[in-house]
Amino acid sequence: MVKENYHIHSTYSDGKATILEYAKEAVSKGFGEIAFTEHLAIRSGCSARKLYYSMDASRLGEYIEEVRRVQEGFSELKIRAGLEVDYFPGSEPVLRDILGSYDLDFTMLSVHWIGELCLDCYKYRRAFEIAVREEGFDKFYAKYLELLEKAVETGLFKAVAHFDVAKNWGFKPSKDFSKEELRILEKIRDLGMAVEVSSKGLRNPIKEPYPTRKILEECSSLRIPIIMGTDAHNLSELDSNIESIIEYAKSVGYSQIAIFEKGKLTYSPI
């Protein structure tokens, strides 16, 4: 049995602690496996630009080296070098280039943006809430799922982060989107990808883990591998609600979690 956290941000992107600080904290909290998933958020278009919370792609080599160096000091903890990559339509060639050039253990995709609106950034919260009030959440959720499906179809990633994060500020669709969600999950299964069970939502107004129970049950019946993540941006978030998401995963029938080493998936019991 291994306790893992596959969603951690260090000072390489927008986190508040270093790789070494997280590693020491992880050992003291009983983790056996952690993956750093620094933000890589590059808007495509005529002038590709890095977003404010993203790491600089030119530091990827240095970042991976640091993870490997810190690993040497810890025999009881496995430390993986990963990325949480923002998907923007049209960014595939740039991402393919970057991701193909480095020896990463793990990459997961995120859809954080619908056009110019960030779904789960504090500084865009008001703008998003106003837009939802004016246009209704269903329209945004439909667009979110459309982008998520495109991101999955690229085949560039090993997992999907916070599957239904669009609900972050407490919104829920009024329409039934289970057909669309299932179609995406089937693509995830066909590509051999994993889905993150995330405790992030428990710290946000939605007060639920991601994905919602109905989606996680679907994952379980499709035998989609899962990873556990807290979306830690500081040391205190490293084990935030981790026990409760382990129980949540078990409650829909999961008995094992995925582990990634140099992109290769294996399982460990939970």
Here the tokens at position 98 are 């970057």
Please tell me whether residue 231 binds Zn ion under the rule CB under 5 A: yes
Tell me the C-alpha distance between 248 and 211, whole Å.
10
Tell me the C-alpha distance between 53 and 123, whole Å.
12
CB of 176 to Zn ion, least distance (A): 25
Using the minimum distance from each CB to Zn ion, give the nearer residue, 84 or 181: 84
Please tell me whether residue 168 binds Zn ion under the rule CB under 5 A: no
How many residues touch Zn ion (CB under 5 A)?
3
Which one of 84-92, 96-104, 131-139, 251-259 is the stretch in contact with Zn ion (CB under 5 A)?
A: 84-92
The DSSP annotation for 74-133 comes to: -SS-EEEEEEEEE--TT-HHHHHHHHHTS--SEEEEE--EETTEESS-GGGHHHHHHHHH
CB of 151 to Zn ion, least distance (A): 12
Binding mask 89-118 for Zn ion (x = CB under 5 A): ---------------------x--------
CB of 250 to Zn ion, least distance (A): 24
How many CA atoms, within 13 angstroms, populate the side-chain half-sphere of residue 124?
A: 16
Please tell me whether residue 38 binds Zn ion under the rule CB under 5 A: no
Q: List residues near Zn ion by CB under 5 A.
A: 84, 110, 231
